[in-house]
Structure 1
Amino acid sequence: MTRDEKSDFAKGDDIPGTDQSSRSSQTQDQPAGVLPEQQKDLEQQPPPAPGPPAIAPPPNGGRVAWTQVLCGFCLFFNTFGILTSFGVFQTYYESTSSPFRRATSDISWIGSLQVFLLQFSGIIVGPIFDKGYIRLLLGLGGFLIVFGHMMLSIASAYWQILLAQGFCVGIGMGCLFVPSISLLPSYFSTRLGLAIGLASAGSSVGGVIYPVIMQQLVEKAGFPWAVRVLAFVSLVTLAVPFTLMRVRFKPAKARAMIDWTAFQDLPFLWFALATAIAFMGLTGYQILFAFYAKEQGITSTAFAFNLVSIYNAMSTVGRIVPNAISDKIGQFNVLAPAVLLTGAVYLCTMATHTQGVMIGITLLAGFFLGVLTAMPPVCLAVLTKDKSKIGTRIGTGFAIISLGTLTGGPASGAIVQRSHPLAWTAVWSFTGACMLVAGSMYAALRVARSGWKPLVKA
């Protein structure tokens, strides 16, 4: 056999019974080591179902992401911005111009009910948000806030005001609160603290503007028209998130309304309990501090309204600066000492007898208000490992926290009534003690997570 013949034999050319194309087809279609019967079974099997698309990491910036921060600002403006203005309503309802006469603790129930419904609604609103129905929540929440204030403008009895301002507005704010804090973690990770701090500054701006509206218009146009103007401001500002707010991704499958695994997460439960205690003290303080200044003769009634604006204006700094710092050193390294210092400020209020000192206490309390209201959503997001459940987890956490806000105002009001003339010493002792206990619990959680080294990010 010549060299050319050997080459042709190696290629399979001119071999009887051999088809070059059929051999090539067998080589391509049949994997090595697979019998024809097995190959036929493999061909009959359906292709595997495609899995859910991978979720891209948060952009941490860009036009769309910062637009969501603006939308969150408007939502905070009409949730906590209205809540932190309740001191103005408390002072008005305690005055001789009030349409009804009720005890301080009864009036406190209105503000406490608002905060409770805002936070407790999260256990229902959170899963609805996770399913992508953000437009429904924004529309329903906006309608209830505007409608509730319109009904408040024509209410004349305590039970009517409780229904309109407490229940209707409170549920409306509950529909908006979870979207305001749950959407941003999908757009930000490394700058989450700054993003939520900027968004939550809306509550400070609302807490300045709404008291000014009430103070100026109650005297000139009367309480009904002052509340109507407040409703129109809410309507205009809530149109922004309704138009521009967007969910970045939806869950791959439907989820249960309650995430029961949250109740097995000890750090999550510990944090929620500590925050409930903190908000118990916070709610009592912010409802009564302006009334305290007026009732004790420290300031005039008009300046008591201004104290609420000062309180909320200073909270802007407390929302943005500490949150931005927390991105660098850790959320719990900021929150724990801030809440302990808040307790000290509340205790110092009992020794306040002049307008200058009262302004100083108000500035400090306002700064720490910003820290306490802006930091918990960030901490809850950090404690949530599965980010697709962020709405459900934050809703569950604030449902637990709402138990503290529901009881804080009425409890403080009841203390004021029972122990006069030592009432104010007792109530500031109560609110300060709540903060000291909560701050100690935050510190314990920080140590449990990251150890005793103070320079470790935690």
Structure 2
Amino acid sequence: MDANSDASETTVNAMGGGQDIEKTTPAPAQTIEDKEEPTFDTGYAPWLQVLGSWFLFFNSWGVVNTWGVYQTYYEQNQLSDMSSSDIAWVGSLQSFLLMLFGVVTGPLFDAGYFRALLGFGTVMLPFSFMMVSLSSKFWHFILCQGICVGLACGCLFVPAVAILPQYFRRRKGLANGIAATGSSIGGVIYPIMFNQLQKTVGFPWATRAVGFLAFGTCLISLSLMRVRFLPTEKRKLFQLGAFKEPIFVLFSVGMFMGFMGFYNFLFYVQSYAIETGIVDDNLGFYLLAMLNAGSTFGRIAPNFLADHTGPLNMLIPAVSITAILSFVWIGVHTVPGIIVLSILYGMFSGGFVSLPPVVMASITKDMRELGTRLGMVFAITSFGLLIGTPIGGAILNDTNDYLGVQLFTGCAIAVAAAIFMGVRISRTGLKLAVKA
């Protein structure tokens, strides 16, 4: 029996005088639940969740997007005796675990462990940075910055994307796009903060300051965010039947290829600009911040337009232009050129990062399977993130030239764009076949 019928029956019984008035007490609780329905998309509560999610993006992908400044710093200081390829494993582990751990944290969220995930990430992330500040050997950085930071970010990322659909319906895409800008702003603030502080107070206290900021902003999310309801169905970790669908397989391979190349620009553009003499060390540290600033626009606009044009129709041009910019990187040898390139790469790659979940929703027939399939795609993508930047570093070490890295980046993303176009054509063909 639904809430309205419960309330009506209670009222009738009370009016008839045959029931004690205390039996009407369940009715207000049901009425309050009904009155919560209009709070979808409007009111303070939904937008407070967006603010909380914003800070979670700030401290998950925002932290991962900061790795480029640490890569450059380690190459010149603590790990100067190691190759770029070896150092890159630390950063690739971060992004790998962030994505892969979502396969586990998703079902945990569904099981009602939202506060536990958020609490673990809030404590683990600053603790990891405190340990990084004490590190001096490569295995220290692998353990503290690669594994621990990656796991902490994975616990923060899933709640950021999973809670918004509980509060938004019509404006779900817009809310997700606004929250996702937290990763871009984090990628602006954290590199600048680290760069300035390490010059004045040294590496240990600069890294500790990053940990303190992460702890404070995570506490904001912990205080604001509330689960509205628990899913009625528990999510499976894997659905092997999805691999029988060509569109799902194509999209998964496209994501793997794209992210295998995508982060090479973020990891190596600073060292490229500094080592080739295009910019000095000071300006070089700001290139990643400029890129993430451009990504802020690139995360909102495509999500907004995707509601009107279709997510694949926005993803394909975003990935294609990102590939073109990767090839343009080969011919950039001036200060204005590298600045403009970094900003444009951030703008168009922002759509590449933020649109895939929306695309997955559009190609999934049964929405009850969306969570499982997203987890599967993220897991596949995580292996591309894991091996992509070390491959770029290995190419750089073997050739002692950035041309190979630039070609690898552009070709991998171009292949992804071609595969996504294949997904678009396949979907069109299936729709025409159904109509026929």
Displacement, 1:373? 1.2
Q: Distance in 1 between matches of 2:425 and 2:170?
A: 23
Deviation digits for residues 220-251 of structure 1 (CA, Å, limit 9, x no counterpart): 00000000000010001111221222223223
**1:32-431 aligned within 5 A:** 59-95=40-76, 97-98=77-78, 101-420=81-400, 423-431=401-409
The 8 Å contact of residues 208 and 308 in structure 1, kept in 2 or not, is answered as: yes
Deviation digits for residues 269-305 of structure 1 (CA, Å, limit 9, x no counterpart): 3222211111111122211111110111110111111
SS at match of 2:120: helix
SS at match of 1:299: coil
Displacement, 1:175? 1.1
Displacement, 1:159? 0.6
Q: Does 1:441 align with 2:419?
A: yes
Q: Distance in 2 between matches of 1:327 and 1:346?
A: 28
Equivalent pairs counted in the alignment come to 398
Unaligned runs of at least 5 residues, structure 2? 1-32, 432-436
Q: Distance in 2 between matches of 1:146 and 1:91?
A: 22
Identity of aligned residues (%): 42
RMSD of aligned C-alpha atoms? 2.2
Q: Distance in 2 between matches of 1:270 and 1:122?
A: 21
Q: Relative to structure 2, which stretch is displaced further, 391-400 or 330-339?
A: 391-400
- TM-score normalised by length of structure 1: 0.82
Displacement, 1:205? 0.6
The 8 Å contact of residues 130 and 388 in structure 1, kept in 2 or not, is answered as: no
The 8 Å contact of residues 125 and 148 in structure 2, kept in 1 or not, is answered as: yes
The 8 Å contact of residues 114 and 167 in structure 1, kept in 2 or not, is answered as: yes
Q: Distance in 2 between matches of 1:182 and 1:260?
A: 23
Q: Relative to structure 2, which stretch is displaced further, 336-345 or 63-72?
A: 63-72
Q: Distance in 2 between matches of 1:358 and 1:273?
A: 30
The 8 Å contact of residues 129 and 391 in structure 1, kept in 2 or not, is answered as: no
SS at match of 1:171: helix
Q: Distance in 2 between matches of 1:399 and 1:372?
A: 17
Q: Which has the higher helix share?
A: 2
The 8 Å contact of residues 79 and 87 in structure 2, kept in 1 or not, is answered as: no
Deviation digits for residues 404-436 of structure 1 (CA, Å, limit 9, x no counterpart): 10011100000111112xx21111111001111
Displacement, 1:202? 0.2
One-letter amino acid matched to 1:333: N
**Inter-CA distance 354–414: structure 2 relative to 1 (3 Å threshold):** same
Displacement, 1:389? 4.6
- TM-score normalised by length of structure 2: 0.86
The 8 Å contact of residues 311 and 366 in structure 1, kept in 2 or not, is answered as: yes
**Inter-CA distance 303–215: structure 2 relative to 1 (3 Å threshold):** same
